[in-house]
Amino acid sequence: MATDQALLGLDNLELGPAPRSDPGRLARKGWAAVWPKLLAIAIVLAIWELVALSGWKQYVFKGPGPVFSNLWNDALHGNLWSVIGVTLQSAVTGYALAILIGTVVGVLVARIPPVRAAVGSIITGLQTMPSIAWVPFAIIIFGENASAILFVVVLGAAPSIANGLITGVDYTPPLLLRAGKTMGLRGFALYRYLVLPASLPAYVAGMKQGWAFAWRSLMAGELVVQIIGQFSIGQQLNVDQSNQDFTGATAMIIVILVIGIVVDTLFTKLDQGIRKRRGLLDPATT
Partner 1 sequence: MSTTDRRTAPLGYVPGASARSEGSGPSGPDRAAVRLTDVTKVYGSGARAVQALDKVSLAVADGEFVCLIGASGCGKSTLLSLVAGLDSATSGEVFTAGRRVSLMFQEPALFPWLTAGRNVELALRARGVPKADRRERTRELLETVRLTGFGDKRPHELSGGMRQRVAMARALAQDADVLLMDEPFGALDAMTRDLLHDELERICAERTLTVLFVTHNVREAARLGDRVIVLSSRPGRVIDEVSLPRTGPRRIDSVEVAEVAGRLTDRLREEMGRHGH
Cα torsion 9, 15, 16, 19 to 10°: value is: -130
Q: Applying CB under 8 A, does 154 fall inside the site for partner 1?
A: no
Instruction: Please answer whether residues 183 and 194 qualify as being in contact, where contact means their C-beta atoms are separated by less than 8 angstroms.
Output: no
Is the CB of 14 or the CB of 22 nearer to partner 1? 14
Q: Applying CB under 8 A, does 3 fall inside the site for partner 1?
A: yes
Q: Applying CB under 8 A, does 32 fall inside the site for partner 1?
A: no
Q: Applying CB under 8 A, does 184 fall inside the site for partner 1?
A: yes
**Which range of residues in 8-16, 35-43, 95-103, 248-256 is near partner 1 by CB under 8 A?**
8-16
Least distance (Å) between residue 167 CB and partner 1: 17
| The dihedral sign for the CA sequence 119, 165, 95, 157 | negative
Angle between helices 146-170 and 196-224 (to 10 degrees): 160
Instruction: Please answer whether residues 153 and 90 qualify as being in contact, where contact means their C-beta atoms are separated by less than 8 angstroms.
Output: yes
Q: Applying CB under 8 A, does 47 fall inside the site for partner 1?
A: no
Is the CB of 4 or the CB of 22 nearer to partner 1? 4
Rounded to an integer, what distance in angstroms lies between the CA atom of residue 197 and that of residue 176? 11
Query: In terms of Cα–Cα distance, which of 96, 89, 100 is closest to 231?
Result: 89
**Which range of residues in 48-56, 73-81, 172-180, 213-221 is near partner 1 by CB under 8 A?**
172-180
Q: Applying CB under 8 A, does 176 fall inside the site for partner 1?
A: yes
CA atoms within 13 A on the CB side of 273: 7
Q: Applying CB under 8 A, does 2 fall inside the site for partner 1?
A: yes
Which residues from 197-216 bind partner 1, rule CB under 8 A?
197-198, 200
Q: Applying CB under 8 A, does 183 fall inside the site for partner 1?
A: yes
Q: Applying CB under 8 A, does 270 fall inside the site for partner 1?
A: no
Rounded to an integer, what distance in angstroms lies between the CA atom of residue 95 and that of residue 91? 6
Instruction: Please answer whether residues 102 and 160 qualify as being in contact, where contact means their C-beta atoms are separated by less than 8 angstroms.
Output: yes
Chain positions contacting partner 1, by CB under 8 A:
2-4, 6-8, 10-11, 14-15, 175-176, 178-179, 181-185, 189, 193-194, 197-198, 200, 274, 277-280
